[in-house]
């Protein structure tokens, strides 16, 4: 994947994550009010921040040695995990009574990864089971 295509895919992924988190927040406005909607948005924001940080770390290694790129990917994922724990601990303290909506907002951003994988599988030159 070229650097331009990587950047385009990451931008698309971030937009989809923000959109899905917004949809979940709107649902929570009707289910439980503004506080739960805000909690869902915070959960979605965690997902967007984690995606941004890992994409930047991986993107910086693009075009280099394949072994260095794989190492950068693993380091980015390890950092993402540590950052996720830190952010969720902080948010759990602030939104202790609304942690369900926080998790639902975050899960919405994870769904965006599945959509991105499906999109990438349909790109020209990709290999899929159907081919």
pLDDT of residue 8: 86
pLDDT above 70 for 1: no
- The yes-or-no verdict on residue 127 having pLDDT over 80 is no
Q: What is the mean pLDDT of the chain?
A: 85
**What does the pLDDT read at residue 125?**
61
In a domain, 127, yes or no: no
pLDDT score, position 131: 46
Residue 39, pLDDT > 80, answer: yes
Domain of residue 17, residue span: 3-121
Give residue-wise pLDDT tens across range 55-85. 888 887 777 778 888 888 888 889 999 999 9
Domain assignment present for residue 12? The answer is: yes
**Residue pLDDT, tens place only, 21-38:** 999 999 999 998 899 999
State the total domains in the chain.
Answer: 1
Domain assignment present for residue 76? The answer is yes
Range 110-123 average pLDDT: 80
- Cα separation, 56 vs 62, in Å, equals 10
Residue pLDDT, tens place only, 89-105: 999 888 888 888 999 99
SS (H, E, C) 61-90: CCCCCHHHHHHHHHHHHHHHHHHHHHHHHH
């Amino acid at each position: 994947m070229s650097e331009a295509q990587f950047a385009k895919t990451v931008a698309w992924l971030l937009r989809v994550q923000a959109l899905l988190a917004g949809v979940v927040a709107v649902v929570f406005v009707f289910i439980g009010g503004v506080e739960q909607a805000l909690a869902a948005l915070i959960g979605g924001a965690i997902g967007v921040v984690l995606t941004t940080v890992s994409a930047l770390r991986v993107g910086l290694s693009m075009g280099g040695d394949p072994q260095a790129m794989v190492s950068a990917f693993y380091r980015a994922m390890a950092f993402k995990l540590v950052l996720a724990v830190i952010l969720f601990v902080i948010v759990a303290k602030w939104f202790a009574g609304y942690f369900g909506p926080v998790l639902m907002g975050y899960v919405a951003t994870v769904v965006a990864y599945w959509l991105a994988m499906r999109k990438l599988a349909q790109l020209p030159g990709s290999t899929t089971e159907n081919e």
